[in-house]
Structure 1
Amino acid sequence: MHRFKKPLRRSIFIGSTVFILLLCILLNILTYRSFRKSLYNSYEERITDILVYVHSHIDLDDLSRCVDTLEESPKYNDLMQLMDNVVEQFNIHYLYIVTPLNNNDTDNMLIVLSATTEYEREYHIDEDIVLGYICHDDYSAEMAQAHIDALNNDKISFFEEKSSWGVDYTGFLPLIDSSGKHFALLCVDIDVANIQDIIRAYTIENIIIITVLGIFFMLLLQFWFNKNIISPITNLERSVSVFAENAHEQTDPSKLLLDIPTLHTDNEVEGLYDAISQLSNDMHSYVMNIVNMEEKVSDLKTQVNYMDMLAYQDSLTKVKNKAWYDKTSQRINEEIEEGSAEFAIIMADLNYLKKINDTYGHERGNEYIFGACKEICQIFSHSPIFRIGGDEFVILLEKIDYINRNTLLSEIELIFGDSANNTSMEPWQRYSVALGMAIFNAESDKSIEDVFERADKAMYKKKAFMKAARE
């Protein structure tokens, strides 16, 4: 019997094994990268929101003088209180301002301000870390160099660092005074040890699932090839070889018989046709299995998209957050350039939130924010609502709500007025909100920011009026 250098059985086994292996590796890499990128993007957007929010409350020239003189100012103390509140509210690892001194292993970082939690203040944790404190060996040379690079930058940058405090994903925002001096870095640290555990567990689970499916499909494919192609062809080749050997110098015509294996066919052409037809059917089944695998990958991508959606949603009120407002602003500005824009903005700022937090705790403060937001959502049910700060909301009025803007504004003011004066309710259930509305004017407004600023001024004017009325 003839021996082949590349028998069909071995060639198919090697080929299918390599194909399934490469497919498993590719799917694992793609799903891992997509999942990891989505998670880190969501963390970067959260860090950016916090940095932008805190930066908007900093008097840069005053803080620059504090760094130069190492003396605290009233605005410095106000900023410290704000950052302490941000740490408590957003549940981040660290929020601090530093000035990198050098890229040595020690004495390389000057502490400007380090926010603390209520727990840390109560138990005097890190109470010696104040303005002018120089870190001796807390920052490695690599971390110090990363801070120096970030300080010389003009935009937010990110750095993942491993230290004795854990694994943090840090966002840097350089602070620049009016003279153009880069004097310090505003930093936010978020603990990403948990996210790395999630990615690791997800990757291991994904590898196991895809590998098991790959082995299963490889075995299934081998079984099919053996039954429908290899065995029939091998049997046919063996029969022909035996016939050739027996026919050599055979003088008995009765023995010149070709023992054709059972192929469930009447002739070779029909048998080949049936084999090809069977191959087509089985390959269809195999492709459907691959499609099912792709659907699993699609489901994973859907989960990643869902996480992206969560990144644009305020976790407390479930309305859109500052990041989504920025995206919406891009769309509105495009409509302004096209000349098709027609909208109004209402700014809403919650009164007494700090008093409620200080008196009844942050849990009641969250109830106060959630309840006030619910009232706004019920009135402006056709308009997107954005929470852009701890106690600030933006309502974008378009279409039907834009047409009925004055009626809706009067209605919500009446509701909040009644709620604020309802002494039968708990203090955190008596919602008081200052509102200010501005309407887009195509002749004077160049962007949505112009309308936003007028609405913000109107809101603060209303807030001052309400405060004067109380006094």
Structure 2
Amino acid sequence: MANKRIQTPLKRSVKIVCFLFVLILCLCLGVSIYLSYKNFFFKQSQEHIRNIITYVIGHIDNDDLKNCSDTKVESDKYKELMTFMDDVKEDLDPQYLYIIRPLREDGGNHVMIILTAENNYDRYENTEGNLYLGDITEDEYTKEEVDNYHKIMEAKDIVFMESATYWGHSYCGFYTLRDSHGAPYGILGVDIDLTQMYKDILFKTFDMLLIVIIIGGLFIFVFLIWTSKNITDPIEMLEKSALGYIEQSKYVSSPDKLKFEKPNITIKNEVESLSNTIDTMTENIKDYMLQVIEAEKETAHMKEVANTDSLTGVKNKLAFKERVEFLNGKIQENLIKDFGIVMMDLNYLKSINDNYGHEYGDILIQTFCDIICDIFVHSPVYRIGGDEFVIILQGKDLGNRDKLLLEFEDALKGRVEKGDYKPWECPSVALGFAHYDKNLDTCVEDVFRRADAAMYRRKKEMKAERTV
């Protein structure tokens, strides 16, 4: 009787301890997973904001924009910048993209709108609520927020912060715009919506916790059965099957080929239940491993999509930046011997767009890319601008560059001379080539600049030839 009285509390105590262990583990893992995902998303957001700001400031004429903000009159460059920022908002999808100037008048809680980006629908159809050059906000900002903007005006680099304002809960990046004399005149701001981001973080956290709870529950169940008495032989059978499963896992090429050989245990007690549980557990683990593999494939696919130009199928500016960073690393380590850069600028794209429509401009770009890819089959092609393309030549293509470039020019001329093609099917291009020279070039950018300069020289020559 004494043993029975001792035995029952012990089992209950073990269950309570196991439950508390899982609870504490889930809390710790939950906090850790949540913070990890939050840090990951915020780093991604910072990089996204930084890329947008870098992209936009490269298209701003600060003196012209300052003059527009002072006179409240839109210049031609202002209108071009507005169209460009609208395209950036449409393509890169920030929550808000804007340029403002904080004011100190009338209580110090107002800002002046210099430029706000809108999507096509809001810009041209649903215009109610749009903000324009010279508009002064009313009660949308607090004095503290505007004071913070004044502090940002003194910053030299991008300022990141989480903000909950009238406009929503956002993660923001601000960059001070300065004229040619270095005087600040406005703030370029990029906002990313945090509401959906936090929902995604919580969803992923709960998803991971659910997996932890399931796996933890299974292992606790196995542990409770393992602590039972008089099960030595069945435990050895289970151990043998488990070891066989582990050994099998070393040689199979895919998790779906793993098979747990369940021992023949028919004693109708907890040990048989343990055997069945391990069998189920291995299937769950196998399914989970397959899900992880599928998720990794999806991640790789998403990265490929992110690095591909949607119109042409060639690599985009982001992919080019990654390749440049890779090659720069090889240059620094003295592990690269030879490569070349071909810089190409597509002629007449604006004329085709203006005279025939943007869909024919797209056909011109696609036709141009098809010709490039047919000839430079061993080299990556990058579209780094609307009409700008880069080819990085290595290996056989670099050795055969003269032949390939001649073949490329002949292909373009052949279309014109044949006379069977429409204007948008006859690409014309100015190109420049630069060969990496380790005695001259310290980075890929040096080679790129020489290729770019050669391209512009060729572009001027072509323009002069047309004039003659």
Same fold (TM over 0.5): yes
Unaligned residue ranges in structure 2 (runs of 5+) = 244-277
1:380 aligned onto 2:376: yes
1:329 aligned onto 2:288: no
Aligned twin of 1:113: 115
Aligned twin of 1:277: 236
Q: Name the CA shift for 1:213/1:128 in 2 (closer, same or farther; >3 Å).
A: closer
The amino acid of 1:211's aligned partner reads I
Confirm or deny: 8 A CA contact 2:343 2:432 kept in the other structure: yes
Aligned twin of 1:248: none
How far, CA to CA, are the matches of 1:313 and 1:149 in structure 2? 39
How far, CA to CA, are the matches of 2:341 and 2:166 in structure 1? 47
SS in 2 for 1:4: helix
Aligned twin of 2:386: 390
Describe the superposition over 1:109-156 as per-residue Cα deviations: whole angstroms up to 9, x where unpaired. Answer: 222222344444434726973333222223345654554454333333
1:415 aligned onto 2:429: no
Aligned twin of 2:343: 347
The correspondence of residues 34-433 of structure 1 with structure 2, limited to 5 A, is 38-101=40-103, 107-123=109-125, 125=127, 129-141=131-143, 143-144=145-146, 147-163=149-165, 165-191=167-193, 194-219=196-221, 221-222=223-224, 224-225=225-226, 229-230=227-228, 232=229, 274=233, 277=236, 280=239, 285=278, 292=286, 295=289, 298-299=292-293, 300=295, 303-304=298-299, 307-308=302-303, 310-339=305-334, 340-358=336-354, 362=358, 364-419=360-415, 424-425=420-421, 427-433=423-429
How far, CA to CA, are the matches of 1:181 and 1:377 in structure 2? 47
SS in 1 for 2:114: strand
Aligned twin of 1:235: none
Describe the superposition over 1:372-397 as per-residue Cα deviations: whole angstroms up to 9, x where unpaired. Answer: 33432332232233332233222211
Aligned twin of 1:240: none
How far, CA to CA, are the matches of 2:65 and 2:457 in structure 1? 28
Q: C-alpha displacement at 1:458, in angstroms?
A: 2.0
Q: C-alpha displacement at 1:219, in angstroms?
A: 4.1
How far, CA to CA, are the matches of 1:164 and 1:358 in structure 2? 41
How far, CA to CA, are the matches of 1:77 and 1:97 in structure 2? 14
Q: C-alpha displacement at 1:459, in angstroms?
A: 1.9
Q: How many residues align?
A: 428
Aligned twin of 1:449: 445
Q: C-alpha displacement at 1:18, in angstroms?
A: 3.6
How far, CA to CA, are the matches of 1:120 and 1:97 in structure 2? 17
Q: Name the CA shift for 1:32/1:352 in 2 (closer, same or farther; >3 Å).
A: farther
Aligned twin of 1:243: none
How far, CA to CA, are the matches of 1:438 and 1:201 in structure 2? 50
Confirm or deny: 8 A CA contact 2:341 2:435 kept in the other structure: yes
How far, CA to CA, are the matches of 1:109 and 1:177 in structure 2? 19
The amino acid of 1:125's aligned partner reads T
Confirm or deny: 8 A CA contact 2:345 2:430 kept in the other structure: yes
Confirm or deny: 8 A CA contact 1:121 1:127 kept in the other structure: no
Confirm or deny: 8 A CA contact 1:346 1:395 kept in the other structure: yes
Confirm or deny: 8 A CA contact 1:161 1:169 kept in the other structure: yes
How far, CA to CA, are the matches of 1:458 and 1:365 in structure 2? 25
Confirm or deny: 8 A CA contact 2:328 2:444 kept in the other structure: yes
How far, CA to CA, are the matches of 1:120 and 1:100 in structure 2? 25
How far, CA to CA, are the matches of 1:378 and 1:38 in structure 2? 40
Confirm or deny: 8 A CA contact 2:108 2:146 kept in the other structure: no
Confirm or deny: 8 A CA contact 1:385 1:396 kept in the other structure: yes
Confirm or deny: 8 A CA contact 2:109 2:146 kept in the other structure: no
Describe the superposition over 1:221-254 as per-residue Cα deviations: whole angstroms up to 9, x where unpaired. Answer: 54x34xxx42x3xxxxxxxxxxxxxxxxxxxxxx
The amino acid of 1:295's aligned partner reads M
Confirm or deny: 8 A CA contact 2:109 2:142 kept in the other structure: no
Describe the superposition over 1:70-118 as per-residue Cα deviations: whole angstroms up to 9, x where unpaired. Answer: 4544433443343344444545544322223359997432222223444
Q: Name the CA shift for 1:162/1:377 in 2 (closer, same or farther; >3 Å).
A: farther
How far, CA to CA, are the matches of 1:86 and 1:276 in structure 2? 64
Confirm or deny: 8 A CA contact 2:49 2:190 kept in the other structure: yes
The amino acid of 2:233's aligned partner reads D
Confirm or deny: 8 A CA contact 1:97 1:187 kept in the other structure: yes
SS in 1 for 2:412: helix
Moved more, 287-296 or 174-183: 287-296
How far, CA to CA, are the matches of 1:70 and 1:215 in structure 2? 66
With the length of structure 1 as denominator, give the TM-score of the two structures.
0.73
Q: Name the CA shift for 1:377/1:196 in 2 (closer, same or farther; >3 Å).
A: farther
Q: C-alpha displacement at 1:278, in angstroms?
A: 5.3
Confirm or deny: 8 A CA contact 2:34 2:202 kept in the other structure: no
Confirm or deny: 8 A CA contact 2:153 2:176 kept in the other structure: yes
Q: How large is the RMSD of aligned CA atoms in angstroms?
A: 4.1
How far, CA to CA, are the matches of 2:154 and 2:416 in structure 1? 49
Q: C-alpha displacement at 1:408, in angstroms?
A: 2.0
Confirm or deny: 8 A CA contact 1:105 1:139 kept in the other structure: no
Q: Name the CA shift for 1:175/1:408 in 2 (closer, same or farther; >3 Å).
A: farther
Moved more, 47-56 or 452-461: 47-56
How far, CA to CA, are the matches of 1:88 and 1:361 in structure 2? 19
Confirm or deny: 8 A CA contact 1:105 1:137 kept in the other structure: no
With the length of structure 2 as denominator, give the TM-score of the two structures.
0.74
How far, CA to CA, are the matches of 1:26 and 1:304 in structure 2? 27
Q: C-alpha displacement at 1:432, in angstroms?
A: 3.4
| Structure number with bigger Rg | 1
How far, CA to CA, are the matches of 2:92 and 2:439 in structure 1? 40
How far, CA to CA, are the matches of 2:284 and 2:193 in structure 1? 38
Q: 2:430 aligns with which of 422, 429, 434?
A: 434
How far, CA to CA, are the matches of 1:207 and 1:17 in structure 2? 15
Confirm or deny: 8 A CA contact 2:102 2:150 kept in the other structure: yes
Confirm or deny: 8 A CA contact 1:111 1:129 kept in the other structure: yes
Q: Name the CA shift for 1:330/1:438 in 2 (closer, same or farther; >3 Å).
A: same
Moved more, 420-429 or 327-336: 420-429
Q: Name the CA shift for 1:88/1:21 in 2 (closer, same or farther; >3 Å).
A: closer
